[in-house]
Amino acid sequence: MSKQVSDNMQINKRLRKRYRREKAFKGSAILALTLAAVFLVFFFYNIINQGYSALAQAQILVEVHYNEASQKSYRKAIDKSYRKIVSRGWLRTLPLYMEDHPEVMNTTRHEWVVATADVDQYLKNKPNRLKDKQKRQIDKLQEEGKVQLNFNTNFFTNGDSKMAELAGIKSALVGSIYVLIVTLLVALPIGVMTAVYLEEFAPDNRLTQIIEVNINNLAAIPSILFGLLGLAIFINFFGVPRSSSLVGGLTLALMTLPVIIITTRAALRAVPHTIREAAYGLGASRWQTVWHHTLPLALPGILTGSIIGLAQAMGETAPLLIIGMMAYIPDTPSGFTEVATVLPAQIFTWAGESIRAYEERTAAAILVLLSLLLSMNSLAVWLRKRFETRW
Amino acid sequence: MVNSILILSFMAVISGFFILQHVKKKAIHSYWHSLPAYYAWFAMIWMTVPALCLFFFSSTLHLLHLYDVSTSFLIPSTILLTLWGTWQGLKQIKPETKAREGVEKVIRVSLVLAASISILTTIGIVLAIIFEAMQFFHIVSVWDFLTGTHWAPDDATEGNTQGMFGSIPIFAGTFMITIIAMCVAVPIGILSAVYMSEYASEKVRNTAKPALEILAGVPTVVYGFFAAITVSPLIVKFAEAVGLHADYTNALTPGLVMGIMIIPFISSLSDDVIRAVPRSLRDGSLALGTTMSETIIRIVLPAALPGIIAACLLGISRALGETMIVVMAAGLRPNLTWNPLEGMTTVTVRIVDALTGDQAFDSPETLSAFGLGLVLLVITLMLNVLSIYVIRRFRSQYE
Residue A331 is classified by DSSP as: S
Contacts of B381 in chain A (CB under 8 A): 217, 220-221
pLDDT given for residue A23 in this prediction: 94
Put simply, the answer to whether A190 touches B114 (Cβ < 8 Å) is yes
Put simply, the answer to whether B195 touches A30 (Cβ < 8 Å) is yes
pLDDT given for residue A319 in this prediction: 93
Distance from A263 to chain B by nearest Cα, in Å?
15
| Interface with chain B: mutation pick from A15, A307, A317, highest number of B CBs within 10 Å | A317
Are the CB atoms for A258 and A212 separated by under 8 Å? no
Put simply, the answer to whether A218 touches B122 (Cβ < 8 Å) is yes
Put simply, the answer to whether A322 touches B107 (Cβ < 8 Å) is no
Residue A147 has pLDDT above 90, yes or no: no
* Three-state secondary structure string covering chain B: CHHHHHHHHHHHHHHHHHHHHHHHHHHCCCCCCCCHHHHHHHHHHHHHHHHHHHHHHHHHHHHCCCCCCCHHHHHHHHHHHHHHHHHHHHHCCCCCCCHHHHHHHHHHHHHHHHHHHHHHHHHHHHHHHHHHHHHHHHHCCHHHHHHCCCECCCCCECCECCCCECCHHHHHHHHHHHHHHHHHHHHHHHHHHHHHHHHCCHHHHHHHHHHHHHHHHCCHHHHHHHHHHHHHHHHHHHHHHCCCCCCCCECHHHHHHHHHHHHHHHHHHHHHHHHHCCHHHHHHHHHCCCCHHHHHHHHHHHHHHHHHHHHHHHHHHHHHHCCHHHHHHCCCCCCCCCCCCCECCCHHHHHHHHHHCCCCCCCHHHHHHHHHHHHHHHHHHHHHHHHHHHHHHHHHHHC
pLDDT given for residue A296 in this prediction: 92
pLDDT tens digit sequence for A224-243: 999 998 888 888 888 888 88
Residue pLDDT tens, chain B, 399 long: 667 778 878 888 888 888 888 877 877 778 888 888 888 888 888 888 888 888 888 877 877 777 777 777 777 888 888 888 888 888 888 888 888 888 899 999 999 888 888 888 888 888 888 988 888 888 888 888 888 888 877 766 666 666 678 888 899 999 999 999 999 999 999 999 999 999 999 898 888 888 888 888 899 999 999 999 999 999 999 999 998 888 888 899 999 999 999 999 999 989 988 998 889 999 999 999 999 999 999 999 988 888 899 999 999 999 999 999 999 998 888 878 888 888 888 999 999 988 887 767 677 888 888 999 999 999 999 999 898 888 777 665 554
CB of B230 within 8 Å of a chain A CB? The answer is yes
Q: What percent of chain A has pLDDT over 70?
A: 99
pLDDT-based confidence at A320, cuts 50/70/90? very high
Q: Region A163-167: what's the mean pLDDT? A: 85
pLDDT-based confidence at A307, cuts 50/70/90? very high
Q: Region A49-67: what's the mean pLDDT? A: 87
Distance from A328 to chain B by nearest Cα, in Å?
13
A to B CB pairs, distance under 8 Å: 244
Q: Which residue of A has its CA nearest to B257?
A: A39
pLDDT given for residue B61 in this prediction: 80
pLDDT given for residue A131 in this prediction: 84
pLDDT-based confidence at A291, cuts 50/70/90? very high
Put simply, the answer to whether A25 touches B388 (Cβ < 8 Å) is no
* β-sheet bridge partners, residue A150: A57
Put simply, the answer to whether A229 touches B291 (Cβ < 8 Å) is no
Rg of chain B in Å (alpha carbons):
30
Residue among B191, B196, B380 whose CB faces A220 most closely = B380
Q: Which residue of A has its CA nearest to B103?
A: A287
Instruction: Give residues 281 to 300 of B whose Cβ lies within 8 Å of A.
Output: 291-294, 296-297
Put simply, the answer to whether A197 touches B112 (Cβ < 8 Å) is yes
Put simply, the answer to whether A348 touches B293 (Cβ < 8 Å) is no
pLDDT given for residue B158 in this prediction: 61
Distance from B85 to chain A by nearest Cα, in Å?
24
Put simply, the answer to whether B328 touches A43 (Cβ < 8 Å) is no
DSSP letters of A304-316? HHHHHHHHHHHH-
Put simply, the answer to whether B118 touches A363 (Cβ < 8 Å) is no
- Domain limits of chain B? 2-115, 168-398
Q: Which CATH class is domain B168-398?
A: mainly alpha
Handedness of CA B93, B96, B100, B101 (dihedral sign): negative
Residues 6+ apart with CB under 8 A from B291: A18, A19, A21, A22
pLDDT-based confidence at A43, cuts 50/70/90? very high
Contacts of A48 in chain B (CB under 8 A): none
CB of B110 within 8 Å of a chain A CB? The answer is yes
pLDDT given for residue B394 in this prediction: 66
Distance from B381 to chain A by nearest Cα, in Å?
7
The CA-atom distances, in angstroms, between A377 and each of A45, A304, A368, A371, B218 are: 20, 8, 14, 10, 11
pLDDT given for residue B373 in this prediction: 92
Residue among A28, A285, A317 whose CB faces B221 most closely = A317
| Interface with chain A: mutation pick from B33, B196, B225, B229, highest number of A CBs within 10 Å | B225
Q: Which residue of B has its CA nearest to A228?
A: B129
Contacts of A46 in chain B (CB under 8 A): 226, 230
Residue among B119, B128, B225 whose CB faces A210 most closely = B119
Put simply, the answer to whether B226 touches A47 (Cβ < 8 Å) is yes
pTM: 0.89
pLDDT given for residue A1 in this prediction: 57
DSSP H or E run through A172: helix A170-196
CB of B234 within 8 Å of a chain A CB? The answer is no
Distance from B69 to chain A by nearest Cα, in Å?
16
Q: Region A63-82: what's the mean pLDDT? A: 82
Distance from B212 to chain A by nearest Cα, in Å?
8
Separation between Cα atoms, residue B277 and residue B267, nearest integer Å? 16
DSSP letters of A219-281? HHS-HHHHHHHIIIIIITTS-PPTTBHHHHHHHHHHHHHHHHHHHHHHHHHHS-HHHHHHHHH
Interface predicted TM-score of the whole assembly (ipTM), two decimals: 0.89
Q: Which residue of A has its CA nearest to B63?
A: A238
Q: What percent of chain A has pLDDT over 90?
A: 42
